[in-house]
């Protein structure tokens, strides 16, 4: 029975809760007890008798014996197996043991159990935690298995530990950071998307920064031991504040909770009275508490629900200069009222600065909206004029003839014919008949300049007065390194170089931000200098927090912030983002090969904005701790057409 049904969370995988069980050769009873009586959604159960060792089988051959599995496949229906059982691979296996017999037994058993799980169409199997610090042979065997799997997922069980978690001393750490174990294992298995993590949550948690890393990793389950629960005043199990926060984070990232262990809370008798004598599941109070945590989560805001389907989904950035936008795209962006409120505020301030109160009735400000689209910036500008009592003449310049149709209708409908002149022309090539006091544009991409606002405004500033104002007056791009295993695997699935050298627009969700973002390129408008050009180069250095432990950087999340006019800004850089604005998702620059970084070795990154005669593109590379190849040389994979 799923944990909850409301607030938008009913669509999350995390609403299912499992329970870890011992081996049983009577699976139907196992399910009946834990699912029907206990209320759990599935069992995490061993598939084979734990006493089985292939090398001990008599006759040294398997011909005469059936595998000691938990009953025939017929004891449950295929859908029951698949929805109610996650296979738990024998925990005794140790593929990196010095003992060769144990090693061979482990390999044989692992392969037999996976084959059985595949036969049963299970959705997932839990792989036991590697026994030592070395896991190469285990990884080799799992990697062989992964090549043959189609639907079965493998969850590598890893304890959520990192010694030295709370301290600033970085030198003594490392070896006991279980993330390192996971990282080695998945690198050896080449980031296979069928390999995920199941984290054993302990009573002590590592530092916040260390926990944060996991939010960008492929974590499928959090195994909550009964030992990690506290006891509340009424004798019931509960979790510490930090544990609660962690579990909430897991719920938000589609991680399922599995309750594990023996009950350690003896509940007051009274509370059992309402179960009317029926047997109560010994772990029911733990499940109830997990369900309580799930249900007390804040409902998702409306906009978040709309955007659920976009989470971690790679989109090619728009090319509005080369392509014409479609009506639906205009429709979406025009609904972003916050953006137009900011523009209206900026225009209002510029109008007041331009024309003092005493001259408001005599001076007419010439305002040009370049890239007017279907007219929202024209409307915002006119509202600013009305609000400030300034006289204004508007030119609406738009290159998309389809949008111009709508624009004409708007002007007619609103009765703006006397004020607004529509120019159906590319702003770079229009011969204006007079010069503008204010140039208003919204040509910004997720990374600021990536939709070629600089080149467009360079072309348009010909018809701005020397002392004229550009709104926006400047914009800056930002990046930060992220762990984003899902995005990386989605890029990798294309199996070509081009997709690794492309920037994507993404609603980032299953992503761990590893360091605060830093500014990359800034453009200021107008810029009448003859020496100016729009090529840029920026070297950036990021330091991980000292208590974070190592992390894998799959690429960079990119944002922008724009100064519209003076103190009026607009942007999506997380620390200063304009609230409730939804026109831009962040941009994501992938790395061809993820780079492992440590708190004591800074990540050095280079970004270039390169300009050719017909296109603009970015190149990027990492030079430290290990140099990466240059990405997107000469814009071979990804570019924006002029």
Which residues define the annotated binding site for S-adenosyl-L-methionine?
330, 339-340, 398, 426-427
User: Six-digit token pair at 517?
Assistant: 């973002």
Q: Is 442 a catalytic residue?
A: yes
Scan residues 590-609 and list those touching a copy of itself (CB under 8 A): 593, 596, 604, 606, 608
- Residue 618's nearest CA partner among 609, 630, 626 is 609
How many residues lie near a copy of itself (CB under 8 A)?
Answer: 39
The answer to the question of residue 190 lying near a copy of itself (CB under 8 A) is: yes
Task: State in angstroms the smallest separation of the CB of 112 from a copy of itself.
Answer: 16
Out of 144, 151, 329, 580, point to the residue binding a copy of itself (CB under 8 A). 144
Q: Of the ranges 80-88, 139-147, 271-279, 384-392, which one interacts with a copy of itself (CB under 8 A)?
A: 139-147
Judged by CB under 8 A, which stretch of 26-34, 44-52, 134-142, 283-291 contacts a copy of itself? 134-142
Q: Is 309 exposed, middle or buried (0-12, 13-18, 19+ CB in 10 A)?
A: exposed
Based on the shown chain and the rule CB under 8 A, indicate whether residue 184 belongs to the binding site for a copy of itself: yes
SS3 156: strand
Of these, 3, 19, 85, 189, which contacts a copy of itself (CB under 8 A)?
189
Hey, what long-range contacts does 53-58 have (CB within 8 A, 24 or more apart)?
53/105, 53/109, 54/104, 54/105, 54/108, 54/109, 54/112, 55/101, 55/104, 55/105
Interacting residues with a copy of itself between 258 and 277 (CB under 8 A):
none
Instruction: Identify which of 299, 300, 304, 329 has the alpha carbon closest to the alpha carbon of residue 317.
Output: 329
One of 53, 140, 280, 507 touching a copy of itself (CB under 8 A): 140
358: three-class secondary structure by DSSP: helix
Smallest gap from Cβ 617 to a copy of itself, in A, equals: 11
CB 290 within 8 A of CB 259: yes
Nearer to a copy of itself, 102 or 411 (CB): 102
By beta-carbon proximity to a copy of itself, the closer residue of 82 and 137 is 137
Tell me: does residue 176 bind a copy of itself (CB under 8 A): no
- Give the DSSP letter string of 8-50: TGGGSGGG-EEEE----S-HHHHHIIIIIIT--SEEEEESB-T
User: Quick one: 324 or 634, whose CB is closer to a copy of itself?
Assistant: 634
Task: Check binding of 131 to a copy of itself (CB under 8 A).
Answer: no
Question: For this structure, is 451 an active site residue?
Answer: yes
Answer yes or no whether residue 541 interacts with a copy of itself by CB under 8 A.
no
- Six-digit token pair at 56? 């001990």
Interface with a copy of itself, residue 32, by CB under 8 A: no
Of 12-20, 130-138, 443-451, 466-474, which segment contacts a copy of itself by CB under 8 A? Answer: 130-138
DSSP alpha helix (H) spans, 393-439: 401-414
CA dihedral 372, 376, 377, 382 (to 10 degrees): 120
* Euclidean distance between CA atoms 136 and 30, whole angstroms: 35
- CA 13, 17, 22 angle in degrees (round to 5)? 135
Rounded to whole angstroms, the Cα distance separating 589 from 570 reads 22
Q: Which of 442, 501, 573, 619 is catalytic?
A: 442
**Minimum Å distance from CB 310 to a copy of itself?**
31
The distance of closest approach from Cβ of residue 523 to a copy of itself in the complex, given in angstroms and rounded to an integer, is 15
Token pair recorded at residue 11: 């669509």
- Residue 193 or 583: which CB sits closer to a copy of itself? 193
Radius of gyration, CA atoms only, the chain: 30
Nearest Cα to 343, choosing from 383, 373, 398, 303? 383
Catalytic residue, chosen from 451, 455, 501, 619, is 451
Exposed, middle or buried: residue 125 (CB in 10 Å: 0-12, 13-18, 19+)? Answer: buried
Residue 388 C-beta: closest distance to a copy of itself, Å: 40
Catalytic residues: 442, 451
Q: Which residues bind a copy of itself (CB under 8 A)?
A: 60, 103-104, 134, 136-137, 139-140, 143-144, 147-148, 183-184, 187-190, 530-531, 535, 537, 539, 593, 596, 604, 606, 608, 619, 621, 623, 626-630, 633-634, 636
């Amino acid at each position: 029975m799923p944990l909850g049904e409301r607030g938008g969370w009913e669509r999350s995988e995390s609403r299912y809760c499992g329970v870890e069980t011992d081996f049983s050769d009577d699976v139907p009873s196992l399910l009946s007890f834990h699912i029907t009586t206990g209320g759990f959604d599935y069992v995490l159960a061993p598939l084979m008798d734990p006493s089985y060792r292939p090398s001990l089988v008599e006759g040294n051959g398997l011909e005469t014996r059936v595998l000691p599995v938990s009953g025939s496949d017929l004891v449950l229906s295929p859908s029951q197996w698949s929805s109610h059982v996650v296979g738990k691979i024998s925990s005794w296996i140790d593929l990196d043991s010095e003992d060769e017999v144990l090693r061979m037994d482990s390999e044989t058993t692992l392969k037999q159990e996976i084959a059985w799980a595949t036969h049963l169409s299970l959705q997932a199997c839990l792989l036991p935690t590697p026994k030592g610090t070395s896991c190469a042979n285990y990884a080799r065997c799992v990697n062989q298995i992964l090549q043959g799997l189609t639907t079965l997922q493998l969850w590598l069980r890893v304890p959520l530990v990192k010694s030295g978690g709370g301290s600033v001393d970085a030198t003594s750490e490392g070896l006991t950071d279980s993330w390192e174990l996971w990282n080695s294992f998945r690198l050896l298995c080449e980031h296979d998307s069928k390999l995920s993590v199941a984290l054993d949550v302990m009573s002590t948690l590592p530092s916040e920064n260390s926990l944060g890393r996991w939010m960008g990793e492929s974590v499928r389950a959090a195994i909550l031991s009964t030992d990690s629960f506290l006891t509340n005043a009424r004798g019931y199990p509960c979790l510490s504040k930090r544990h609660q926060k962690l579990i909430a984070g897991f719920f938000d990232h589609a991680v399922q909770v599995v309750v594990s262990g023996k009950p350690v809370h003896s509940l007051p008798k009274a509370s059992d009275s309402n179960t009317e004598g029926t047997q109560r599941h010994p772990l029911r109070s733990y499940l109830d508490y997990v369900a309580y945590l799930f249900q007390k989560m804040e409902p998702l805001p409306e906009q978040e629900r709309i955007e659920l389907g976009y989470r971690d989904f790679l989109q090619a950035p728009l090319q509005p200069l080369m392509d014409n936008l479609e009506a639906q795209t205009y429709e979406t962006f025009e609904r972003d009222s916050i953006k137009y409120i900011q523009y209206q505020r900026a225009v209002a301030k510029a109008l007041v600065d331009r024309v003092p109160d005493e001259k408001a009735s005599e001076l007419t400000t010439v305002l040009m909206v370049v890239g007017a689209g279907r007219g929202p910036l024209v409307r915002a500008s006119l509202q600013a004029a009305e609000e400030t009592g300034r006289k204004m003449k508007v030119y609406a310049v738009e290159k998309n003839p389809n949008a111009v149709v709508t624009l004409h209708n708007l002007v007619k409908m609103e009765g703006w014919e006397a004020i607004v002149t529509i120019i159906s022309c590319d702003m770079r090539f229009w011969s204006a008949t007079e010069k503008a006091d204010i140039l208003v544009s919204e040509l910004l991409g997720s990374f600021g300049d990536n939709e070629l606002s600089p080149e467009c405004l360079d072309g348009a500033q010909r018809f701005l007065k020397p002392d004229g104002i550009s709104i926006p007056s400047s914009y800056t791009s930002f990046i930060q390194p992220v762990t984003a295993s899902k995005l990386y695997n989605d890029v990798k699935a294309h199996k070509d170089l081009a997709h690794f050298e492309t920037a994507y627009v993404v609603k980032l969700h299953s992503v761990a931000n590893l360091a605060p973002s830093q500014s990359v390129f800034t453009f200021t408008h107008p810029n009448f200098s003859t020496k100016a050009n729009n090529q840029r180069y920026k070297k950036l250095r990021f330091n991980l927090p000292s208590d974070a432990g190592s992390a894998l950087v799959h690429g960079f999340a990119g944002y922008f912030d724009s100064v519209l006019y003076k103190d009026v800004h607009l942007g999506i850089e997380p620390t200063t983002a304009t609230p409730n604005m939804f026109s831009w998702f962040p941009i994501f620059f992938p790395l061809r090969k993820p780079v492992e970084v440590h708190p004591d070795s800074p990540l050095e990154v280079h970004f270039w904005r390169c300009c050719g005669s017909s296109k603009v593109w970015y190149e990027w590379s990492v030079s430290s701790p290990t140099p990466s190849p240059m990405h997107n040389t000469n814009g071979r994979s990804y570019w924006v057409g002029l």
